[in-house]
């Protein structure tokens, strides 16, 4: 079973939920945690993995052979991303706009374009106390996060539960993280901002055809803001994590809820079981 954890609004508690879930389930299930918030991964701060491999991630960008190019401009015509411009006798390429589709290279009538790697980031793999871990990280200054998210998710289909910690928002890297998962857990906070961005995330998730449920973090006096919306949309509220100083202190020291407050282990296990019910997953497929 693959569960993505997303939000809409940033800072609602995706990583808190993802890492706490991972730590709660490790006793009974085979668990993998993938940090797909590649612009600012932070799950490793709580999981503290031992990293066993690091690989460079590159996209393919065009390189034009000036001796073969006759400046016909075909490459520029076919590029939908405007990543290659032909002016007079010069060809300019813009690697940061290139999506690596290969159209320019493939369609050049003089075969003057080859594809060369353009590094955009890294993929680290490791483990921590029986938990399998992977983290994607976009290099500072690079613009395209989505290919890294894709790479992090690329794994042989396995047993057990895979948890994907996504970025905030609903832009391309988030869509890539949620796409194809069995369930999306949306973490929100009971405020008007939380609700506004949650509704955007719900729209995105519905478009992707992924079933979802909500976790209300920093729950307290104004939960009905979210609960009312979820009832209207027929979305289950699966967990409420209260606004409590001790939880904030724990998290600020790098502990997940499962590590610091053991009663939460049972609650996160229940959350996972609820998700399995909702996705029709037979728990014996995922259990150790």
Partner 1 sequence: MNIAISASGLTLDAEVNPRFGRCEQFIILDPETMQFKVLVNTGQSAGGGAGIATAQHIIKEGIGAVLTGNCGPNAHQVLTAAGVEVVTGVSGNIREAVELYKSGGYCPSSQANVSDHFGMGKGKNR
The contact set with partner 1 (CB under 8 A) reads 76, 80-83, 85-88, 90, 92, 94, 97
> Which is closer to partner 1, CB of 94 or CB of 193?
94
The least CB distance from residue 83 to partner 1, in Å, is 6
> Which is closer to partner 1, CB of 86 or CB of 225?
86
- Contact predicate 207/174, CB 8 Å: no
> Which is closer to partner 1, CB of 168 or CB of 190?
168
Pairing of strands 212-219, 237-242: parallel
> Which is closer to partner 1, CB of 80 or CB of 245?
80
Euclidean distance between CA atoms 288 and 98, whole angstroms: 43
> Which is closer to partner 1, CB of 72 or CB of 92?
92
Euclidean distance between CA atoms 236 and 224, whole angstroms: 13
Residue 286 has phi, psi (to 5 degrees) of -105, -10
Residue 189, classed as helix, strand or coil, is coil
- Contact predicate 136/121, CB 8 Å: yes
Q: What is the DSSP string of 10-49?
A: TTSSHHHHHHHHHHHHTTTB-EEEEE--TTS--THHHH-P
The least CB distance from residue 106 to partner 1, in Å, is 20
CA distances from 165 to 15, 34, 108, 111, 181 (A): 6, 6, 40, 42, 12
- Contact predicate 181/164, CB 8 Å: yes
The least CB distance from residue 82 to partner 1, in Å, is 3
The least CB distance from residue 8 to partner 1, in Å, is 17
The least CB distance from residue 7 to partner 1, in Å, is 20
> Which is closer to partner 1, CB of 113 or CB of 186?
113
Euclidean distance between CA atoms 259 and 247, whole angstroms: 11
> Which is closer to partner 1, CB of 86 or CB of 261?
86
Q: Which residue, 28, 22, 33, 1, is CA-closest to 281?
A: 1
Q: Which two structure tokens, joined as six digits, stand for 226? A: 């979210």
Q: Which two structure tokens, joined as six digits, stand for 65? A: 């052979």
The least CB distance from residue 79 to partner 1, in Å, is 9
């Amino acid at each position: 079973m693959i569960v993505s954890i997303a939000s809409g609004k940033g800072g609602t508690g995706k990583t808190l939920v993802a890492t706490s879930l991972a730590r709660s389930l490790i006793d009974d299930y085979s668990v993998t945690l993938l940090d797909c918030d590649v612009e600012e991964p932070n799950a490793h701060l709580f999981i503290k993995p031992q990293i066993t491999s690091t690989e460079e991630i590159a996209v393919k960008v065009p390189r034009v052979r000036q001796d073969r190019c006759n400046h016909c401009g075909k490459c520029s015509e076919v590029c939908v991303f405007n990543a290659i411009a032909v002016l007079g006798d010069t060809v300019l390429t813009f690697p940061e706009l290139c999506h690596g589709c290969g159209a320019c290279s493939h369609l050049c009538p003089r075969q003057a374009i080859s594809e060369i790697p353009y590094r955009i980031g890294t993929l680290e793999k490791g483990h921590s106390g029986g938990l399998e871990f992977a983290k994607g990280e976009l290099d500072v200054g690079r613009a395209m996060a989505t290919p890294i998210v894709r790479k992090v998710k690329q794994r042989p289909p396995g047993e057990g539960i895979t948890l994907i910690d996504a970025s905030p928002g609903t832009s391309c890297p988030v869509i890539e993280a949620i796409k194809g998962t069995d369930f999306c857990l949306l973490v929100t906070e009971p405020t008007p901002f939380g609700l506004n961005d949650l509704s955007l995330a719900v729209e995105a998730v519905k478009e992707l055809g992924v079933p979802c449920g909500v976790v209300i973090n920093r729950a307290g006096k104004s939960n009905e803001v979210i609960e009312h919306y979820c009832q209207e949309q027929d979305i289950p509220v699966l967990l409420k994590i209260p606004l409590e100083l001790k939880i904030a202190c724990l998290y600020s020291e790098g502990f997940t809820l499962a590590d610091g407050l053991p009663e939460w282990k049972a609650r996160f296990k229940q959350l996972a079981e609820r998700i399995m019910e909702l996705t029709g997953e037979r728990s014996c497929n995922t259990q150790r």
